[in-house]
Amino acid sequence: MFKKILYPTDFSAHSKQCIDYILRMQNCGVEEVVLLHVMDKRVVVYGSIMSDSALDEEMLIKECTETAEKKLNEMARIFQQAGIRTKTIARLGEPFAEILTVADEVDASLIVIGHRGHSTAEKLLLGSTAEKVVRKCKRPILLVR
């Protein structure tokens, strides 16, 4: 039923809670997990404006991509050890938009996403990325609280 799971992560503790849920769903026919991290374009653009150099923007993107790939591969190993195939994707863009795009690209049968991420705003019930994904995506979603 849920052959291919898209797991978007911002590497926060909230998003890591999804791992356990995905592992426990193995008997629902899970064959592959696509781990996605989106490097927020707005943050990169802001960083490059402050540093005032095109080269710094390139460097920043390169460093973030390398770090994201390393972290995604570390997380992917957890699924591989459970016998699940993995694919890792690190992209630059607006998180919710890239999550929707990748969901279509890989034809995800389910998206497993955290309800919160790195934000420390106590009042926030649902983060803005999660909210937009839930609102705009037509695919099944498991929102992990």
Ligand X SMILES: Nc1ncnc2c1ncn2[C@@H]1O[C@H](COP(=O)(O)OP(=O)(O)OP(=O)(O)O)[C@@H](O)[C@H]1O
40 binds, among Mg ion, ligand X, none (CB under 5 to 8 A by kind): ligand X
Cα angle 144, 27, 36 (rounded to 5 degrees) comes to: 45
- What does DSSP assign to residue 29? T
CB of 75 to ligand X, least distance (A): 12
103 interacts with ligand X by CB under 6 A: no
Pairing of strands 110-114, 141-144: parallel
- Which of 4, 5, 6, 10 forms a contact with ligand X (CB under 6 A)? 10
12 interacts with ligand X by CB under 6 A: yes
90 interacts with ligand X by CB under 6 A: no
4 binds, among ligand X, Mg ion, none (CB under 5 to 8 A by kind): none
Report how far residue 130's alpha carbon sits from residue 95's, in angstroms, rounded to the nearest whole number. 9
CB of 52 to ligand X, least distance (A): 25
Q: Which residues of 116-126 are buried (b: 16+ CB within 10 A; e: fewer)?
A: bbeeeeeeeee
Q: Which stretch binds ligand X (CB under 6 A): 30-38, 57-65, 72-80, 103-111?
A: 30-38
Place of tokens 């460093």: 63
Pairing of strands 141-144, 85-93: unpaired
- Which of 38, 60, 75, 137 forms a contact with ligand X (CB under 6 A)? 38
- Which of 5, 6, 14, 84 forms a contact with ligand X (CB under 6 A)? 14
Report how far residue 92's alpha carbon sits from residue 8's, in angstroms, rounded to the nearest whole number. 13
